[in-house]
Structure 1
């Protein structure tokens, strides 16, 4: 009986040692790609894939290009900006450093335009 207890204890210690040697991974392994300062980078699909469009705050308000109108899958912001839906009027404030890898099922499915600064 004593041998069985020791074998069980040894298995627990070895298992714990093995688990501590494996690095923990975050719940989300997605890392946003870079986007130029002063810009918001848009992708047509989730996960920063598909067609891309870079909007610059210096260009002022812009309607989304046709392929991005009501169809932004993901974005990375390098500037404060305001995402706008016109019907019904809704606004979403985006801050420098904000990003979303999955946005199409959220406001990305309604976005009509983007403007600089605060909403």
Structure 2
């Protein structure tokens, strides 16, 4: 029963993360009132920010020439890099916290089992009835 509760924080976090769209998905949607240049910069910056924060599924993407000469691309890239890096760091922090809580809970169970190991408590079965 305790092991089921150990995975609860992680499960709730994953479900919540799935409900809310990534910033890049809402900002670069073709219906958004931003320019195509900004949206491309935002998409590239978001991938780069997640990679910088430790994502194994993203790669650094930046069109340096465009960044230097297209202010909308540069603004989109910069905006997204900060947002997506922060979000990825928060996800990683939450995963580490859930793993730590799970480790603490499982070590408590093991520690209690080791304390009772070798103790004969067979005479206490009728106690308290």
TM-score per shorter chain, which class? under 0.3
Q: Which has the larger radius of gyration?
A: 2
More helix by proportion, 1 or 2? Answer: 2
Higher strand share: 1
TM-score by length of 2: 0.26
